[in-house]
A = this chain, B = another copy of it.
Amino acid sequence: MNLEALQKMEGLSLQKTIISKIKDLINYKNLEPGDKLPSERMLSDKFGVTRSNIREAIQKLEFYGILNSIPQSGTFVANIGVIAMNGMIEDILRLEDPDFKSLVETRILLELKTVRLAALRRTENDLKKMKEALDAYIIKVKDGQDAVQEDLLFHLAIAKASGNSTMNTFMLIITPEIITNFEKYHVCDKGLAELGIAEHQAIYDAIQEQNPKLAKQKMKDHFSVLYQYCYNI
């Protein structure tokens, strides 16, 4: 049976098949952290796929910190151990595409934390940036225009002010999907937008006052109105 047929049978993409084979190879050869993988050419030959395919699979595993490539030298098993590697690859292979509910759930979690951290850590410059984003939002809403983008940019400014680059990155990753879904179902109406101004202002004020507890509460109120009213989440 050829590779293509095998993929179709198991419902796996080519990349996932290759990742799985790389995992098996590492186990079969008992490769330890720091050991070198066979060269890309050898792998592409062995698996009967193109070198590009191999490179893409390796790049994905690099993204998750499982391998790392060094130019003109080779690709190496990262310093995380075989057991963790096996478990993580299993997880990566089975990872589903995120649904909107999981995105919103994660967004709320992150925002309740970043707003608190922002209240604690915001610099004067952060404050200025947030104010700019807030003003842009207010102008758009008062003009009766859609302001989903300005809305999200205000929230991203908060994430940045949190001083936590990991959370900032994660917020950036989920934001476009949130925007797309918002615009797809064109969430809520103008009346709510007016309310949004007050809520955003309250969040901003709490951050300015460096009151983390109040900031978190105001953010909670904001989401409570937004999502429970619009979606019943």
Contacts and interface: CB of A to CB of B under 8 A. Distances in A.
A149 B66 contact: no
Contacts of A63: 173
Given A113-B109, A172-B92, A175-B88, A180 B149 contact: no
A64 B171 CA distance: 10
A92 B180 CA distance: 19
Nearest to A136: B83
Contacts of A102: 163-167
A102 B174 CA distance: 18
Contact of A91 (B84, B95, B156): B156
Given A79-B180, A83-B149, A172-B88, A105 B64 contact: no
A58 to B, nearest CB: 15
Main secondary structure of the interface of A (DSSP, over half): helix
Interface in A91-120: 91-92, 95-99, 102-103, 105-106, 109-110, 113, 117
A189 B180 CA distance: 48
A84 B149 contact: yes
A127 interface: no
B113 A164 contact: no
Contacts of A174: 166
Interface in A179-199: 179-180, 183
A208 to B, nearest CB: 21
A75 interface: no
Given A65-B176, A106-B170, 16 more contacts: A63-B173, A64-B172, A66-B176, A79-B179, A79-B183, A80-B179, A87-B156, A88-B176, A95-B165, A95-B169, A98-B169, A102-B163, A102-B164, A102-B167, A105-B166, A109-B110
7 contacts: A64-B176, A84-B175, A87-B149, A88-B153, A88-B172, A166-B174, A170-B170
10 A-B pairs closest in CB distance: A65-B176, A84-B149, A87-B153, A106-B166, A81-B149, A98-B166, A83-B149, A102-B164, A102-B166, A80-B179
